[in-house]
Amino acid sequence: MYDLTIIIVTFNSEKHIKKCVDTVTKSELNNHNYKIIIIDNFSKDNTVKIVKKIQKKSKDISLIENKNNVGFARAVNQGIRLNRKSEYILLLNPDTILEKNSQINLIKCSEKNKAGICGGTTVNTKGEANGSYFRYPNLMVGIFDFTNIRKLCKNDKWHKYFYYLDINNSNKDSFPVDVVTGGFMLIKSSTIKKIGLLDENFFMYLEDVDYCLRANKAGIKIFHENSSKIIHIGGASSNNRDRIRHCSWLKSRKIFFLKHFGVLENIIIQPIFLLDDLLILANKVFRI
């Protein structure tokens, strides 16, 4: 019998949270010990009301209501601290639908490969894979994929490199990767004990890359499991949400390179990031 805690971070997720939770509670987990912890980052819609209604029907769901948006990494850490005894922690985005056996297949992947972190396949509503696992970014990825310089590169070499698009892994059951997405990431408790929690300096984006890199440096295996799949519906767009996401991305890429790269690499890339920021700002001003 498996012991699993599913952590779902919500922010204005009223359109998707019920369906997401339903796919968890109606899955194969009924024969195992599991809990769902939902951390709400100060939603302005009816997300909390919907979750409280769901809670009345299930004793396995806990809710944390934050008084402000603390970001993804900090919210996840709140959930982990609330239930440290679980053997496995599953991070799951609220705008996703789990396919049958997805969670169990991730756990089996972890056990079979002795992996401390595992991830499954994320597809869109058309069934197209949309970024389930990645390589660690290098300086060239930072320059030619993490900035608008990418638009000038017709062959998209470094984008393909970052997303493993230069390799066909579709015929494999499971295989080692550098990074799995934080939107569908299984973490073994032993991993958390060894390397700690997510880095809260990352408000949103690249916290999963950072965590997997730290795990790799500690000798922890990271695997992707093809038989585990979720459908990512995608959240509704809004000016405020888009602004938060965009600003978070610009900040996270700077933090990641400052943390994991040397002085020389940062002398090269940080001015490029700054110039990219200024060009983005100028574009917005002139559009207005």
Q: Which residue has the tokens 């970024």?
A: 131
Strands 174-176 and 222-232: antiparallel
Closest CA to 93 of 41, 188, 17: 17
Q: Does residue 183 register a pLDDT over 90? A: yes
**Which residues fall within 8 angstroms of residue 13, CB to CB, at 6 or more apart?**
43, 45, 47, 94, 95, 235
- Tens of pLDDT, residue by residue over 105-133, are 999 999 999 999 999 999 998 888 888 99
Q: Which segment of 76-85, 213-222, 234-243 scores lowest on mean pLDDT?
A: 234-243
Provide the pLDDT for residue 11. 95
Q: In this structure, what token pair is assigned to residue 245? A: 């996401």
What is the rounded distance in angstroms from the CA atom of residue 152 to the CA atom of residue 7?
Answer: 39
Q: Which residue has the tokens 């984008």?
A: 159
Closest CA to 19 of 241, 233, 236: 233
**Which residues fall within 8 angstroms of residue 234, CB to CB, at 6 or more apart?**
95, 124, 125
Provide the pLDDT for residue 237. 42
* Torsion sign over Cα 8, 93, 143, 134: positive
What is the rounded distance in angstroms from the CA atom of residue 154 to the CA atom of residue 144?
Answer: 11
- Tens of pLDDT, residue by residue over 127-160, are 888 889 999 999 999 999 999 999 988 889 999 9
Q: What are phi and psi of 234, to 5 degrees?
A: 95, 135
- Tens of pLDDT, residue by residue over 67-112, are 999 999 999 999 999 987 899 999 999 999 998 889 999 999 999 9
Express as a percent the part of the chain with pLDDT over 70: 94
Global pTM?
0.94
Domains and CATH numbers, the chain: 3-234 (3.90.550.10)
Provide the pLDDT for residue 128. 85
